[in-house]
Structure 1
Amino acid sequence: MIARVMAAEWLKIRKKPIWFLAVIGPAGVVGLQAANFGLRYDYLVKQYEDDLWGGLIGNVHYLAVPALLLGLALVASMLASLEHQTNAWKQTLALPVTRFAVFTAKFAILLVVLAVSCTLLAVGTAALGAGLGFGYAFPAGELLTASYLPFVAAMPFMALQIWMSVTLSNQAVPLTVGIAGTILSLYSVRMSDWFPWKWPYLINEWNDPLVSAGAGLAAGFLLYAAGLVHFARRDVK
């Protein structure tokens, strides 16, 4: 059932610029780092001479986190906006589908879009490093960790944004929360390791990115479950 609902959701949002956001996010991050290294090539190469690829991946990762948090808020809002704009929630939920399937399908689409975006980020980073003359033997493990684990660590924000976007008709609220969280994340590296906005940066006292990703995955599941229960019980107008 969820697959059928997802197929219907894709048809409903086909005219929305969701895939544009999925592409422009990683393209913008990689483009900014291309400009950064292009303008300060000698300085940065000297600074990271012991690990050129590590320096590039770290710089890309730092910019990618706020882009991820902002992008997921925008995509989540787009996924719910059609029903809100046309007052179609009652018609949607009158179909022979469960509320579990509707909520989960929107969450799954958000995951798919962001996973594609993370893949483009990894490919773009590898291409940039090769273009900068760092060689083709890039550290695959480090690149994949920096590209995909922030996505896992950001699960709580995905669940929260979907929850707010489908239950609040005024999309200014979830978008404001998403933008505020993006700004807050820029200062989060100085916070406690259990500050959620810090998790996508994969920084913690154990120096283990899996700790941050695991915390994000667990909290994301709890928020998804809470949002699902609330959505299943709420009255639809």
Structure 2
Amino acid sequence: MMFRVLAADFLKIRRKAIWFLIFLGPIGVIALQVANYGLRYDYLMEKYAANPWGAFLGNIQFLLPVTILLGIAIIASMVASIEHQMNSWKQLLALPITRTAVFSAKFTLCALMLFVSCVLLGIGIVGLGLGLKLGTDVPLGNIVKLSFYPMIAAFPALALQLWLSVTMRNQALPLTVGILGGVLSLYAVKMPDWFLWKLPLLMNEAGKPEYSVFAGLAVGIVIFAIGLLHFTRLDVN
């Protein structure tokens, strides 16, 4: 049942600007590195001659948390706004489908679009790295982790943003929360490990990025379950 709802949601966003956003995120991150290396190529290559790929990936990692968190806020809001703008929640929920299927489909839709964005990011990283002549020993494992770990660690933010966006017709508060979370992520290094918007940074006291990923996945499931429970009991106008 959820897959039928998901297919319908894909049709709804077929000609929406949301697809532009999916491409804009990774392109923006890569473009910033093009500018960075374009202006300081000789300096950066000399300074990080011992590990040019490591320095390159480090520069990208700094940009990813805020990019992902802002992207999540906008994507969740745009997905939910389709029903809000058409006043179609009551008609949608009157169909012989469960609210669980509706909420799960919208979460899956957001996650899939983020996945596409991360795939594009990974391709862009490899392409730009080779174009900058960082070496042919491409650290594919690290690139895969860099491309997808922050997304998984940001699942709590995704669940929270979708919950707020779906249950609130006025998107001002959900977007404010998302933007504030993205800004806070820039200063989250000194925050405790349980701080939700620190997880995409992949930094923790144990020094293992996987801990942030597993924590994000676990907390994301909990917030998703709470949001789903609220949505199933919500009076829809």
| TM bucket, shorter chain | over 0.9
Once residues 207 and 48 of structure 1 are traced to their aligned partners in structure 2, the CA distance between those partners, rounded to angstroms, is: 23
Are 1:108 and 2:103 matched, yes or no? Answer: no
Q: Which moved more, 1:6-15 or 1:111-120?
A: 6-15
Q: What are structure 2's unaligned runs of at least 5 residues?
A: none
Equivalent position amino acid for 1:127 in 2: G
Counterpart for residue 210 of structure 1: 210
Are 1:156 and 2:167 matched, yes or no? Answer: no
Q: After superposition, what is the alpha-carbon deviation per residue over 1:180-210, rounded to whole angstroms, capped at 9, x for unaligned?
A: 1111101001222222211111111211110
How far does residue 6 in structure 1 lie from its aligned partner after superposition?
0.5
Whether the 8 Å CA contact 1:185–1:197 is kept in 2: the answer is yes
The runs of 4+ residues in structure 1 deviating greater than 6 Å are none
Are 1:69 and 2:69 matched, yes or no? Answer: yes
Whether the 8 Å CA contact 1:200–1:212 is kept in 2: the answer is yes
Once residues 172 and 219 of structure 1 are traced to their aligned partners in structure 2, the CA distance between those partners, rounded to angstroms, is: 24
Counterpart for residue 234 of structure 1: 234
Once residues 40 and 61 of structure 2 are traced to their aligned partners in structure 1, the CA distance between those partners, rounded to angstroms, is: 18
Equivalent position amino acid for 1:169 in 2: R
Once residues 88 and 109 of structure 2 are traced to their aligned partners in structure 1, the CA distance between those partners, rounded to angstroms, is: 19
Once residues 194 and 230 of structure 2 are traced to their aligned partners in structure 1, the CA distance between those partners, rounded to angstroms, is: 25
Q: After superposition, what is the alpha-carbon deviation per residue over 1:113-151, rounded to whole angstroms, capped at 9, x for unaligned?
A: 001101111110111110001123211111111110001
How far does residue 61 in structure 1 lie from its aligned partner after superposition?
1.4
Equivalent position amino acid for 1:13 in 2: I
Once residues 62 and 137 of structure 1 are traced to their aligned partners in structure 2, the CA distance between those partners, rounded to angstroms, is: 22
Once residues 104 and 47 of structure 2 are traced to their aligned partners in structure 1, the CA distance between those partners, rounded to angstroms, is: 46
Equivalent position amino acid for 1:6 in 2: L
Whether the 8 Å CA contact 1:26–1:64 is kept in 2: the answer is no
Equivalent position amino acid for 2:15 in 1: K
Whether the 8 Å CA contact 1:156–1:223 is kept in 2: the answer is yes
Equivalent position amino acid for 1:214 in 2: F
Equivalent position amino acid for 1:197 in 2: W
Equivalent position amino acid for 2:182 in 1: T
Once residues 126 and 106 of structure 1 are traced to their aligned partners in structure 2, the CA distance between those partners, rounded to angstroms, is: 31
Counterpart for residue 90 of structure 2: 90
How far does residue 15 in structure 1 lie from its aligned partner after superposition?
2.2
Are 1:179 and 2:179 matched, yes or no? Answer: yes
Instruction: Give SS of 2:199's match.
Output: helix
Once residues 141 and 67 of structure 1 are traced to their aligned partners in structure 2, the CA distance between those partners, rounded to angstroms, is: 22
Q: What are structure 1's unaligned runs of at least 5 residues?
A: none
Tell me how large the CA RMSD over aligned residues is: 0.9
Whether the 8 Å CA contact 1:22–1:113 is kept in 2: the answer is yes
Counterpart for residue 41 of structure 1: 41
Once residues 80 and 198 of structure 1 are traced to their aligned partners in structure 2, the CA distance between those partners, rounded to angstroms, is: 25
Q: Which moved more, 1:46-55 or 1:126-135?
A: 46-55
Once residues 192 and 47 of structure 1 are traced to their aligned partners in structure 2, the CA distance between those partners, rounded to angstroms, is: 32
Counterpart for residue 32 of structure 1: 32
Once residues 226 and 54 of structure 1 are traced to their aligned partners in structure 2, the CA distance between those partners, rounded to angstroms, is: 39
Instruction: Give SS of 2:178's match.
Output: helix
TM-score w.r.t. length of structure 2: 0.98
Once residues 15 and 25 of structure 1 are traced to their aligned partners in structure 2, the CA distance between those partners, rounded to angstroms, is: 18
Once residues 203 and 107 of structure 1 are traced to their aligned partners in structure 2, the CA distance between those partners, rounded to angstroms, is: 26
TM-score w.r.t. length of structure 1: 0.98
Q: After superposition, what is the alpha-carbon deviation per residue over 1:166-189, rounded to whole angstroms, capped at 9, x for unaligned?
A: 000001110111111111101001
Once residues 2 and 136 of structure 2 are traced to their aligned partners in structure 1, the CA distance between those partners, rounded to angstroms, is: 41
Q: After superposition, what is the alpha-carbon deviation per residue over 1:34-83, rounded to whole angstroms, capped at 9, x for unaligned?
A: 11011011221122222111111111111121111001111101111021
Counterpart for residue 225 of structure 1: 225
